[in-house]
């Protein structure tokens, strides 16, 4: 697949706006309980080769614990399987379907990631089960598989997400505090009481949150997270962009996101 450009960015923006509009009434900002999970026996890491294209993006499929997960990758030119590189695990917004996942990787993450030498892995939600509604249980196994073909710089991925992807990022970090180097949400927040309580376990993991000024239902939970994490001694910053809404022009091309990620390396 060719390297992303302006058309991919415009497509990503259109899909993101549509997804956010369609899910704005269903994306709850109220405190909820964590979904019930049962501990499963350790599964064998699949030997499936990754779908990658050096200097471009690719779409692939891998089976994790009996569940097929479609995913999108972006790798820099010159990358070879087994290389060490900074790794971004990017959770998609909206319903987290493959089309939106691919558009966000190509339009928002890939241009700067490829320029700066980052690898991006963005999983679509299997069977529409979002990464804070149950599919988060599959992410450690997915990451085990990713680590068979890339050595993450620093030993763990950085995590980012937009909207429902931002919520998913906090869920992942809450459940895997030793397998995350930083968290960036644009926007997002810890949605459940368990996610909020887990902030205390993430001291030492820098968190950056971005939200639009007119995205009024997302600002209070973000501010609450800042207060809680600051009290626990964590490194957290919230930026509110004046005049912007849920889909922010300030973050759409990925430049700001990767400027921040580079500081966390």
pLDDT in tens, 157-166: 999 999 999 9
Give the tens place of pLDDT for each residue, 15-61: 565 555 544 444 545 444 454 443 444 568 999 999 999 999 999 99
Confidence bin at 6 (pLDDT 50/70/90): low
Confidence of residue 123 (pLDDT cuts 50, 70, 90): very high
Residue 45 lies in a domain: no
Lowest mean per-residue pLDDT among 9-18, 145-154, 227-236 = 9-18
213: confidence class by pLDDT, cuts 50, 70, 90 = very high
Average pLDDT in the chain: 90
pLDDT for 189 equals: 98
Task: Give the domain range for residue 242.
Answer: 6-20+50-264
pLDDT score recorded for residue 3? 53
84 pLDDT above the threshold of 50: yes
Percent of the chain whose predicted confidence (pLDDT) is above 90: 83
Q: Which residue has the higher pLDDT, 3 or 261?
A: 261
Q: What is the DSSP string of the chain?
A: -PPP-HHHHHHHHHHHHHHHHHHTTTS--S-BPPPP--PPPPPPPP-PPP---BTEEEEEEEEETTEEEEEEEEE-TT--TT-EE-EEEEE-STT--HHHHHHHIIIIIHHHHHHHT-EEEEEPPGGG--TTTTGGGGHHHHHHHHTTT-EEGGGS-EEEESTHHHHHHHHHHHH-GGG-S-EEESS----BHHHHHGGGGGTTS-EEEEEETT-TTTHHHHHHHHHHHHHTT--EEEEEETT--SS-TTTTTSHHHHHHHHHH-
CATH assignment of the domain containing 12 = 3.40.50.1820
Number of domains composing the chain: 1
pLDDT above 60 for 70: yes
pLDDT at position 44: 84
pLDDT at 11: 53
pLDDT at residue 231, rounded to an integer:
95
């Amino acid at each position: 697949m060719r390297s992303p450009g302006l058309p991919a960015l415009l497509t990503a923006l259109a899909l993101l706006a549509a997804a956010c509009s369609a899910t704005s009434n269903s994306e709850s900002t109220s405190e909820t309980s964590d979904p019930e999970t049962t501990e499963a026996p350790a599964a064998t890491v699949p030997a499936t080769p990754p779908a990658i294209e050096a200097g471009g993006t690719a779409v692939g499929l891998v089976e994790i614990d009996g569940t097929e997960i479609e995913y999108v990758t972006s790798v820099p030119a010159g990358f070879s399987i087994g290389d060490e590189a900074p790794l971004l695990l990017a959770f998609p917004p909206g319903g987290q379907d493959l089309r939106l996942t691919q558009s966000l990787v190509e339009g928002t993450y890939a241009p700067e990631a490829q320029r700066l030498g980052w690898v991006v892995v963005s999983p679509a939600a299997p069977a529409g089960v979002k990464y804070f509604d149950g599919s988060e249980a599959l992410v450690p196994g997915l990451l085990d598989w990713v680590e068979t073909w890339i050595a993450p710089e620093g030993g763990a991925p950085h995590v980012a997400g937009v909207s429902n992807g931002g919520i998913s990022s906090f869920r992942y970090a809450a459940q895997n505090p030793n397998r995350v180097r930083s968290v960036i949400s644009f926007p997002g927040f810890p949605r459940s009481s368990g996610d909020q309580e887990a902030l205390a376990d993430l001291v030492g993991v820098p968190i950056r949150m971005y939200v639009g000024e007119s995205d009024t239902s997302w600002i209070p939970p973000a501010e609450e997270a800042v207060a809680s994490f600051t009290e626990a001694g964590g490194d957290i910053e919230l930026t509110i962009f004046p005049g912007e809404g849920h889909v922010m022009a300030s973050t759409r091309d990925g430049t700001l996101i990767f400027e921040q990620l580079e500081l966390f390396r």
